[in-house]
Every structure is written in C-alpha cells, then in structure tokens.
A and B are shown apart, each in its own frame.
Chain A
C-alpha cells in the first residue's frame, strides 16, 4: 500500500484548462476527500488518478511508481462509480471476480477473495443474483466489493452515495468509514456533500475552478479557514457574511448595528472587510434589536431563524433550547468576539487577528 503524490498536475481539453497545477501529497492509508462545487474539477482529478483521463502536464505517482502515463489497469487502483457501473449481465459473484479473471488469477484465489469481500460487506445472500434484483444500497455495496476484491493500493470513490436516498446514504457512509478502518488502504473520495467530507475524511481538499483552495483535517478547515470560499463551503448551514469597514482596532458592521472590538492590523484601516459568523455561534439578544425574523425552520432539536437587517443583509442563526423566536419578531444578536472571522473583501483572503 502506498500514498499518492501529485506534482504540478495539469489537465487541458484542447485550449480549455480545467486543472491548474495541483500539488498534493496523500499519505499511505489516508482517507482523502475532494470537495467543491460542481465543475470544480474534483471528478476530473480523480479520473486522472485512475488513468481514465490523460494527464496533460506534471507528474503523478502512486507509492514510488510514476503512473503519469500508465494504463488504468496497471496503476493498482480500483474505482467505485456514482452509478455503480455493475455489469448487468453478470451475477454479483461474477461482477466481483471480473477484475481478477481479466488478470488471469487462478479460480481458487478468485473464489477466496470474493468470499472474503462478501463477508466484509455482508453480501453472502446475494452472490448469485443479478444487479437488477438488488436495491440501490446493495448495488453500491457490490460495487465496493468489486473494488476490495482486486486488492488495490488506492481506492477511488466518485460520489458513491449520490444516487442513494438520504437514509441509505447515512448507513453507507458509516459502512465506508468502517471499511477504511478494517482495510486501512489509501482512499480518495470525491463528493460535493460537505457532511460526507467532514465525517469521513482524514484530510479534506477543497477545490474551486481547478485550484486547491485549502488542504487540511476537517476540524482545521472548520476552525481555521484560509479564505472566504472555504469558510463558506465547510459548515452547515453556511457561514454568514456581513459587510463591514475596518477601523482602529475595531470593525464597524452596519448590518448588525454594532462595532466589533477586534485586533485588526492598522494596515486595513478604512478598507472594507467581510465579517464571517457561523450560525451556531450566534445567539438571539432577548433585549430586541432592528433585525426582523423572516422565516423560522424548526427541525426539532434546533431551529434556524432567517433574519434580515435594515441594510438588507441576510443572517441565519441556529437556536437551541426552549425559548425560540417567531416570524415577524424584531431581534438583536450577540456573539463572542473570538468567533468572528474577518476576510479581505477584495481578495477574499482571511485576515487573521
């Protein structure tokens, strides 16, 4: 088993460049998640690791082997597709054994490996069925089983849970996490769902428009985002951004009707900044204020209140406890100053204080 190293990897379709020089180190046995909005290049990058897309520039290696221009079959990777990509005319058993059969492994070895994989994924009862006779969750398990059987150095998952319903998605997410613990192989996982990214990853790679925005452990990205994009992408519901102006050791925020005392560098004085506040770090000020409650979503344990300021800023607040606001009410907000994130409005980079 081995890690994956990318060195200034580039992908172009004709004149259109979609991946702009990615440098990335994925450790042996690490669970690495690529996240980003649609069209950010995360699937393309994964397919380049798989060898299904030609790498236009730069180099890529798995372990110590340079795989930049290698055929998919020789890279020692196995891929799990969003659409499962099971062979519809073969039984579950034949599906799982196909890769080994193509590489001329002896029958007995194939039997053993299929049996082992089906034990791990609890597929024993379905081995003689065709994919059409399986549910969505079972199909995805078969697809994962097919990857396990091949014993690859790197597992690649391309949005594997997107076609499942919400309940199954949670179940399979736990199963994939368990699988990673049990097998310990390097896994690269592509998703646009930041909940999957947060729960599964050892390392998250946030991509936008073919660039890496930030790489780090899930909680590091949550607590310490490098820029406005990562701050807004990680966390649910997303961080609130309110316009403000830097002053002397303080930021004036007209949307909140407050001036936040914060140690901002004097160099920013007079510049406009974006103030980031996570919904879970905000609390309703019972004394009232000039924010109007537009809408309240109650999920039981928590409620999300959508507030609108006189200046038109929209702010989401997470509420717990028994005393919750109702629509139309006028309220104020309180928060702890150390929970405030500041971003340069122009470059969108984090201003650390």
Chain B
C-alpha cells in the first residue's frame, strides 16, 4: 500500500514543480512582451495583466465651442448640437456626468439639469443637445465626463522608437547588429575547433591523449574571471587590442573546454564497428570525420551551438573587457540596456522594449532547437 501510495506523490511533486518553474519563467517574459506594446502612461496607470482585457475608464470630453456653434431656436433659447466623439474614438457610454464630483450620475439618453433651465442631453451614440440662454451658452464648451468601457489598446511605437528612429542615439538597432557580429563567429569558431579536437581525442591513438583529455576536464573548472586581465594584456601586447577579433578569441577560448568535453563524450559513444568498417571501406581519417562522425554528431553539435549562442548573446562581462571601447561604436545590447537603466530609468516602455528586443532572438533559437538541446545534453553526459 505504501509503495503504491508513494509513487503518485512523487509524480505530483514533479508535476507541480514543473508547473511552478514554467510559470516563473513565463510571467516575466510575457509581462515584458506585453509592456513593450504599451505607452509609458498605460504602464504607470495599470499592470500589464489588466491591459489584456477591456477596462472601465472615465474620459473627459468637451462639447463644441458655444460661441461658434450655438443656434437660436426661439427668442433667448440657444442650443448646441453635435457629437462628443467627433474627431476621436467612439466609446460605449455606460454612464456620464457633467461634474467630476458626481461621476456616472446619468445614463445614456437622460437629460441633465444644469440649473436655471440649462440642460444637456447625451444619447448613447454620443450625440448631445445642450440648451440654455445666451449667457449660459458662452465661453468654453461644457465638460462631459463619460464612463466608458475601453477596449485593450496597444502600440508599436516603442519598437519604432527603439529600433528604427534615426534620431534616437540610444536605439538598439546598432547594438543588435554589434551583438550579432560578436555572437555568430564566437559560436562557429569554437565548434569547428572542438569538433576536430573531440574526434582526435575520441578516436585517434597518439601518445599523451589521456593527459590532454584530463587537461580539458581540468580547464572546465577554471573560472573565466581568472583569465580576464592576463588575456587582455596579452591582446594589447600582441596588438589585437579591444575589438571584435579579441572578443571572438576570448569567447572561443572560454567555450572550448566544454565544447571539446561534450563533443568528445558524444563521439566516444558512437559505435566502434561503424568507424572500423569505414576504415576497412577505405575511408581516410578525414573522410571518416566528415562523412561519418560529423553527421552522426549533429545532435551534440547543435546542442553546444545553442549553449554557446545563448551565453555569448547574453554576455556582458567578456564584451566589456575585450570589445567595448570609449568610442561607443561597438556597444552590444547587454551594455546598451545597462546604459538605458541609467539614462532612461523612468521610461519603462523603452526599457521593456529594449529588453524584449534583446531576448527575442534567444527565445526563438531556444524554441526552434530545443529538441536538440535535450537530446545532445543527454547523449553527451549520460552515456
């Protein structure tokens, strides 16, 4: 009985924790996404979750200017007719009022008595009749407070401003392309080197192979921060300085141990018979590598590519040390967002949009390649 009762408990705990994790991940992402389509006012006025649904809202409108529009219907009686939604969005009127102290006093179609015979009638379609004597219908148009249900409203202006506004010196467009310039070579170069190295360490016999593997595993645990300053001074000494070449080399170096380790573990698990058969078939080592090993290692290659892509994309530290100089021409997105937090700290719509621009590509990559991520990870480490 006890064992029968325990298993569902474990399963429940597992399911609940998965749900919790998914929610933890989804809510901030979704919030960021929704906020990036709202104006700054909307963000300060209400939470992103309420923006998804129609909201009850009081809108202040004004009748037409009486001095220009009044018509004398009979002696001393003037009216102003019109539609309060003219020149704006048509709203569904739930209730209305003429004073801010008494909101929602009248239903649509009712007539409000403004005192001394002055009246105002507002119909459901927004048309109104304002009636009174010469003095009453003068000066500015009568204020009308309409309680209306407003449909969700979103704007793409934030994206226009952040990505495409030429005049915006803090835009993300340049930083986006700078990040791409860093990330693509910083992903491809280590994979190329690591694939060759992993094949040699897995399948070629040479003296010192075991020592090399041990060295790679040892390098896995060396923290990156340890190498920042020596590496930068090396770059300066050999004339690379700060720039894309430097950051590519740095990312390659920092990524290689894990890349070699993952790929080697995967390749070692490939069946020996297949490789021996290729050898009997007359394939050279290089042909075995390109025709047999590489295609069969695709899941592992893909999973490492995703990893390397994600963390070079999100990297700030290495870019700050090896790339970004005082000219500001090589700013990457992470750095740009840090800057924005300082200069535009209050403009949440700009921050949310910039942040979403920077997470959009990793999200897309993750969702497209997730099956390789899981498969490559399991095959590389468990086997």
Contacts and interface: CB of A to CB of B under 8 A. Distances in A.
B279 interface: yes
A317 interface: no
B211 to A, nearest CB: 19
Contacts of A103: 282
Interface stretch (A84-92, A118-126, A218-226, A278-286): A84-92
A50 B274 contact: no
Interface string A138-152: 000000001000100
Contact of A102 (B282, B295, B296): B282
B271 interface: yes
B268 interface: no
A85 B273 contact: yes
Contact of B274 (A72, A73, A87): A87
A72 B296 contact: no
B321 interface: no
Contact of B280 (A79, A84, A88, A89): A79
Nearest to B276: A52
B277 A81 contact: yes
B258 interface: no
A21 interface: no
B283 interface: yes
Nearest to A104: B282
A72 B278 CA distance: 10
B296 A88 contact: yes
Given A88-B296, A89-B295, A78 B274 contact: no
Contacts, number: 60
Interface string B82-103: 0000000000000000000000
Interface in A294-323: none
B280 A50 contact: yes
Given A83-B271, A85-B271, A89-B296, A99 B281 contact: yes
Kindly name the residue among B273, B279, B296 whose own CB sees the greatest number of chain A CB atoms within 10 A.
Answer: B273
A52 B282 contact: no
Contacts of A52: 276, 279-280
Contacts of B281: 73, 78, 98-99, 102, 146, 150
A102 B283 contact: yes
A81 B273 contact: yes
A51 B280 contact: yes
B273 A83 contact: yes
Contacts of B277: 79, 81, 85, 146
A52 B282 CA distance: 12
Interface residues of A, number: 25
Given A88-B296, A89-B295, A89-B296, A77 B274 contact: no
Nearest to A98: B281
Contacts of A71: 279
Contacts of B279: 52, 71-73
B287 interface: yes
Contacts of A77: 280
B287 A102 contact: yes
B292 interface: yes
B274 A85 contact: yes
A51 B283 CA distance: 14
B185 to A, nearest CB: 28
Nearest to A85: B273
Nearest to B296: A89
A73 B282 contact: yes
Interface string B216-242: 000000000000000000000000000
Interface string A65-80: 0000001111001110
A86 B277 CA distance: 8
Interface in B291-335: 291-292, 295-296
Contacts of B280: 50-52, 72-73, 77-79, 99
B300 to A, nearest CB: 14
B29 to A, nearest CB: 36
Interface string B179-212: 0000000000000000000000000000000000
Contacts of A73: 279-283
A146 B282 CA distance: 13
Interface in B118-136: none
Contacts of B284: 102
A78 B276 CA distance: 11
Contacts of A88: 274, 296
B282 to A, nearest CB: 4
Interface string B235-273: 000000000000000000000000000000000000101
Nearest to A143: B277
B298 to A, nearest CB: 8
Nearest to A156: B280
Kindly name the residue among B273, B274, B277 whose own CB sees the greatest number of chain A CB atoms within 10 A.
Answer: B277
Contacts of B295: 89
Nearest to B295: A89
Nearest to A52: B276
A175 to B, nearest CB: 20
B378 to A, nearest CB: 17
Contact of B282 (A82, A87, A99): A99
Contacts of A78: 280-281
Contacts of B278: 87, 98, 102
22 contacts: A51-B280, A52-B276, A71-B279, A72-B280, A73-B281, A73-B282, A79-B277, A79-B280, A81-B273, A83-B273, A85-B271, A85-B274, A87-B274, A87-B292, A88-B296, A89-B296, A98-B291, A99-B282, A102-B278, A102-B282, A102-B284, A102-B291
Given A52-B280, A85-B273, A98-B291, 13 more contacts: A71-B279, A73-B280, A78-B280, A79-B276, A81-B273, A83-B271, A84-B273, A87-B278, A87-B292, A88-B296, A99-B281, A102-B291, A103-B282
Minimum-distance CB pairs A-B, first 10:
A73-B282, A85-B273, A99-B281, A85-B277, A81-B273, A72-B280, A89-B295, A102-B283, A102-B282, A103-B282
